[in-house]
Chain A
């Protein structure tokens, strides 16, 4: 069962004294268990910094992060993480790359072969299991990276602009896959993006982050029905949410 994530007066500063760069915060936020929260903001606002702090891969300068009431003080191993540049290694096949997550955790992939196959099938990669990453398109590589991030059934999924380098059509397909995967298991998802439409389409809550030093301007609950396919984008509710967020960024001079 996924745990609630709480940020308390969380801030990150790089460097010291007059050279200090205020990257993020201070900010308070509660991410309920099983929710899909997008961190939406312009480039350099500290979205990825916040994600790395939630993952326990970056220490906060101030404040704290609590997961299920316990303070995060080091890398969290109960998470699945994905970046804009995928973490597939070129010397392994797609299947081997998914298994790498398990091997690094000291588990035998043979004991989880069924789960690996099921995941690959769910993203239409079963026929490419024995291929190496360079034989796949960018979209297929990201799908394989999804499987790698999910194979150990994490309670929390942290996604740092995983669709950032993909074309519009491929993004749409992977958004659908991501939504299906989330609805099936309901892990807590924290999704970094700078696409307003993507955030509104996928999220249960959109956290709007201001330009640097990033602060959480507001957390908007998106009460559109699930699943959200392409048609949802033409609904007035969807457009209202998009316009509201656009207004916030316009006030900050971002767009």
Chain B
């Protein structure tokens, strides 16, 4: 007996590419989704099982219901904290990257500013928050500065490392071609430095929302940090969790953007290839 394989339907081959990619993505992410669904179910049942009062730990279903009712305010505050986070983050990159580059190439700066930066990195940047609030008031500027301060060091320190660690072989190869500083920079040094720079960008992205939120805790009249502080004081942990959810979305959005940029700019790097 023979079977004409061409007559059999080949669903995988005929599905649109986008749908196939979506299915592949779901296949990869189902353990992650299953973990969180399981976690929230455990949480929901544990609150009933152990009779935990709602003012201590509300159920996820209550958080969703109460948070949903307050979504307009949460969305407003999301944009405010988001603006502080994004502006501060990109300013930190705009300042940190060239400074890191300058230190990597200047022995004088390496001996002067670099040790100062390393010492400053040891100081919790949040300690500066009250000072900035008292100098600059309750507006957006002090929060942006705190985010810049929190994000600047990982960006700058990783840039110093990135631009200062081209292999001896590549350095000698470039010199043997007679290429000038700029040509060597664009063709070799910059692309070679990008993977390490992204380590700094990602670390800074993780910390950016932390900086904005804590700055809002210390002195603000709007934003998600302010919201969480107020609702917690009013014994409304359900709304506090809703605020935390929005902060998480903000953090993931920034981190996702940086990861997307990493995939677009350094698709050849092992850290990207492996994923």
CB-CB under 8 A from B175, the residues of chain A are: 57, 75
With an 8 Å Cβ cutoff, the count of chain A residues facing the other chain is 24
CB-CB under 8 A from A79, the residues of chain B are: 176
B184 interfacial contact with A, CB 8 Å: yes
**Chain B interface extent, by class:** 20 to 34
Let me know if B184 and A104 touch, CB within 8 A.
yes
Interface residues of B in 232-275 (CB under 8 A from A): 266, 268-270, 273
Of A6-14, A83-91, A117-125, A200-208, which binds chain B? A83-91
Let me know if A76 and B170 touch, CB within 8 A.
no
Interface residues of B in 141-195 (CB under 8 A from A): 167, 169-170, 172-179, 183-184, 187-188, 191-192
How far, in Å, is A120 (CB) from chain B's closest CB?
Answer: 19
Report how far A41 CA is from B268 CA in the complex, Å. Answer: 38
Partner of A75, one of B178, B183, B191: B178
Let me know if B191 and A89 touch, CB within 8 A.
yes
Chain A to chain B contacts (Cβ below 8 Å), 14 pairs: A57-B175, A57-B176, A75-B178, A77-B177, A79-B176, A81-B172, A85-B167, A86-B169, A87-B169, A90-B269, A91-B266, A104-B177, A105-B177, A105-B178
Report how far A44 CA is from B175 CA in the complex, Å. Answer: 24
CB-CB under 8 A from A85, the residues of chain B are: 167, 169
A100 interfacial contact with B, CB 8 Å: yes
How far, in Å, is A55 (CB) from chain B's closest CB?
Answer: 6
Q: What are the 6 A-B residue pairs with the smallest beta carbon separation, nearest first? A: A77-B178, A104-B177, A104-B179, A87-B173, A83-B169, A75-B175
A221 interfacial contact with B, CB 8 Å: no
CB-CB under 8 A from B183, the residues of chain A are: 103-104, 106
- In this complex, the member of B170, B176, B192, B270 whose beta carbon has the largest number of chain A beta carbons within 10 angstroms is B176
Report how far A52 CA is from B188 CA in the complex, Å. Answer: 21
Let me know if A55 and B273 touch, CB within 8 A.
no
